[in-house]
Amino acid sequence: MRPARRWARAAALAAVAPGAVAAVADATGIGERRLRGMQAAPFGLLLSMPAPLAAAAAVVAGWPLVGLAAVPVAAWHLGLVDSPATRTANARTGRATSGIGLRLATINIERDVPTAAEIVEALLASAADVVVVQELTPTTQPAFGSEPFRARYPHRFEAPEDGFFGAGVYSRFPIAGADDRPLGGRHMVVADLDVGGTPVTLVSVHTQAPIHPRDIVPWQSGFTDLGRLAAAAAATDRPIVLAGDWNATTGNRPFRRLLRDHRLVDAHLAVGRGRACTWPAHRSPLPPLLLLDHVVVGGGIVVRGVHERPAPGSDHLAVVADLEIPTPNSSE
């Protein structure tokens, strides 16, 4: 074998190795039991990115060893960022449903961000019908009381706090009821919207980031409690939207399990945009690396589209999702 060819094969194996480690860690559950595993799991998507290219190179160049290593990792990677079954199911439901359009924007504005007024302007420019905000504090709350913002969103529920878990819901649709309830040991706003006569449960999600050992239990229980909430909504056939900063990607098994066990759909996966990223968004010219901010839906809601928008000064991008809410007259 020529030296150049040997070097190329070695480089392909080296490129696959980090992704292989991430895939094994995911398969063994280390990413949901140990702190370092929780922290590393979201980056498994990045570590495994070279695997599909390495697998293709192995086929073309006839490298069986590289193929043996790369193909399983490539399959794991593609399974995390792409879901043909989810896309097909969303499209099929969309063809059969005639409901009410709703554009929802969610943003973690970053605690006490000095550019809150600029973020408010960006949210107004998104033309959303409902805005969900995380890390709302008494310092940033006044920006959301501006006259233009109040005019567009006359219905609101705010639960600011000095820490990281304040939240607000701002809506053009009536809010029939709302409360700030403990979920996963942290507070999240749960609101009942009246969307053209259809009750919709909306949750402003902000799970505990797994930074310290003491964060393990809140991080794990956050997904459990959100699952209970989703199950309660499903029991009444009520549409549900869980939107916000999940501090998780599809590389985290608890997030995938929540979607699977409660028949929920991640908006990005539903429209084939699982490779999108929203964090960290404040390190220009470097792009964001992880998709931590999700709009998750259930109860017959159809995802028509999703995109990201800058939120000046925040370390997160805003996620804007175009949804279709089923009505009592929607065809099955």
What contacts 281, CB < 8 A, 6 or more positions away? 288, 310, 311, 314, 315, 316, 317
Alpha carbon distance 141, 324 (integer Å) = 29
CB burial of residue 73 (10 Å; 0-12, 13-18, 19+): buried
Give the pLDDT confidence score for residue 1 in this predicted structure.
Answer: 56
**Are the C-beta atoms of residues 131 and 153 closer than 8 Å to each other?**
yes
Give the pLDDT confidence score for residue 330 in this predicted structure.
Answer: 58
Among the listed residues 165, 159, 149, 102, the one whose alpha carbon sits nearest the alpha carbon of residue 128: 102
| Pairing state between β 198-206 and 318-325 | unpaired
Q: Tokens for 195?
A: 């969307």
**Are the C-beta atoms of residues 240 and 200 closer than 8 Å to each other?**
yes
- CATH code for the part of the protein at 84-325: 3.60.10.10
Full pLDDT tens readout for the chain, 332 residues:
577 778 888 888 888 999 999 999 999 998 888 899 899 999 988 999 999 998 888 888 888 888 888 999 999 999 999 999 999 999 888 876 778 999 999 999 999 999 999 999 999 999 999 999 999 999 999 999 999 999 999 999 999 999 899 999 999 999 999 999 999 989 999 999 999 999 999 999 999 999 999 999 999 999 999 999 999 999 988 999 999 999 999 999 999 999 999 999 999 999 999 999 999 998 888 899 999 999 999 999 999 999 999 999 999 999 999 999 998 765 44
Cα–Cα distances (Å) from 279 to 7, 109, 208, 289, 317, in that order, read 35, 12, 15, 6, 7
Give the pLDDT confidence score for residue 331 in this predicted structure.
Answer: 47
What contacts 7, CB < 8 A, 6 or more positions away? none
Alpha carbon distance 115, 143 (integer Å) = 9
Give the pLDDT confidence score for residue 62 in this predicted structure.
Answer: 83
| Pairing state between β 198-206 and 240-245 | parallel
Cα–Cα distances (Å) from 237 to 19, 230, 231, 232, in that order, read 40, 10, 10, 9
How many secondary structure helices (H) and strands (E) does the chain include? Answer: 12, 12
For residue 95, the tally of other CB atoms under 10 A from its CB is: 9
Q: Tokens for 142?
A: 């006044």
| Pairing state between β 130-134 and 100-108 | parallel
Specify the amino acid at residue 272: G
What contacts 232, CB < 8 A, 6 or more positions away? none
